[in-house]
C-alpha cells in the first residue's frame, strides 16, 4: 500500500522544484535521499490530510451554523404566524363577543319593552275589570237598597195598616 499512499500524496501535494534543488545529489546516500523524499511526501500528505480535515470541519461547522440559522428562522416564522393567528382569533372573538352582547342587549330591551307593554295592558285590564266589578257591585247594592227600602216601606205601610185595622177592631171591640 505504500504505492497507493505515494500516488495520493503526489496528487494531493505536488512536489515543488525548490525542494528538488535543495536535495544534495550524493550517490553514496541514495537510500537516505529516498527516505527523506518519502518522509517529505508523507509529511506533505499529512499536512494535506490535516488541511482537508480542517476544511471538512469548517464545512461541517458552516453547514451546522446554516442549519441552526434555518431552524431559528423557521421557529421565528412559526412564532410570528402563531401570534398572527392568535391575534386574528382574538379579534374575531372580540368582534363576536361584542356582536353577541349587542344582540343580547337589544333582545333584553325588546323583552323589557314587551313586558312593560304587557304589564301596562294587564294593569289597564285589571283596573277596567275592577272598575266594572265595582260599578256592578254598586249597581247591585243600589238596586238591593232600593228594593229593601221599597219592601220596608211597603212592609211599614202594611204593618201600619194592619195596626190601624187592629186598633180599629180593638177600638170597636172596646166600645
pLDDT tens, residue order, the chain (175 aa) = 444 444 444 444 444 444 444 444 444 455 556 668 888 889 899 999 999 999 999 999 999 999 999 999 999 999 999 999 999 999 999 999 999 999 999 999 999 999 999 999 999 999 999 999 999 999 999 988 888 888 888 888 888 888 888 888 877 777 7
Cα(162)–Cα(147) distance, integer angstroms: 21
pLDDT of residue 154: 86
Q: What is the DSSP string of 96-121?
A: HHHHHHHHHHHHHHHHHHHHHHHHHH
Answer for the pair 44, 9: CB distance below 8 angstroms, yes or no. yes
CA distances from 91 to 88, 101, 102, 123 (A): 5, 15, 16, 47
pLDDT of residue 32: 59
Residue recorded with cell 249597581: 139
pLDDT of residue 92: 94
Residue recorded with cell 275592577: 130
Amino acid at each position: 500500500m505504500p504505492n497507493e499512499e505515494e500516488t495520493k500524496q503526489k496528487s494531493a501535494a505536488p512536489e515543488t522544484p525548490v525542494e528538488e534543488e535543495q536535495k544534495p545529489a550524493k550517490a553514496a546516500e541514495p537510500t537516505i535521499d529516498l527516505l527523506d523524499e518519502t518522509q517529505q511526501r508523507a509529511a506533505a500528505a499529512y499536512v494535506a490530510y490535516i488541511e482537508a480535515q480542517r476544511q471538512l470541519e469548517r464545512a461541517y461547522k458552516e453547514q451546522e451554523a446554516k442549519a441552526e440559522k434555518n431552524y431559528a428562522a423557521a421557529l421565528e416564522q412559526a412564532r410570528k404566524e402563531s401570534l398572527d393567528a392568535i391575534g386574528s382569533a382574538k379579534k374575531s372573538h372580540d368582534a363576536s363577543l361584542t356582536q353577541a352582547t349587542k344582540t343580547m342587549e337589544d333582545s333584553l330591551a325588546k323583552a323589557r319593552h314587551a313586558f312593560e307593554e304587557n304589564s301596562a295592558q294587564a294593569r289597564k285590564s285589571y283596573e277596567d275589570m275592577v272598575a266594572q266589578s265595582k260599578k256592578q257591585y254598586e249597581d247591585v247594592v243600589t238596586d238591593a237598597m232600593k228594593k229593601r227600602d221599597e219592601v220596608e216601606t211597603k212592609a211599614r205601610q202594611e204593618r201600619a195598616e194592619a195596626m190601624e185595622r187592629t186598633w180599629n177592631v180593638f177600638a170597636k171591640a172596646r166600645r
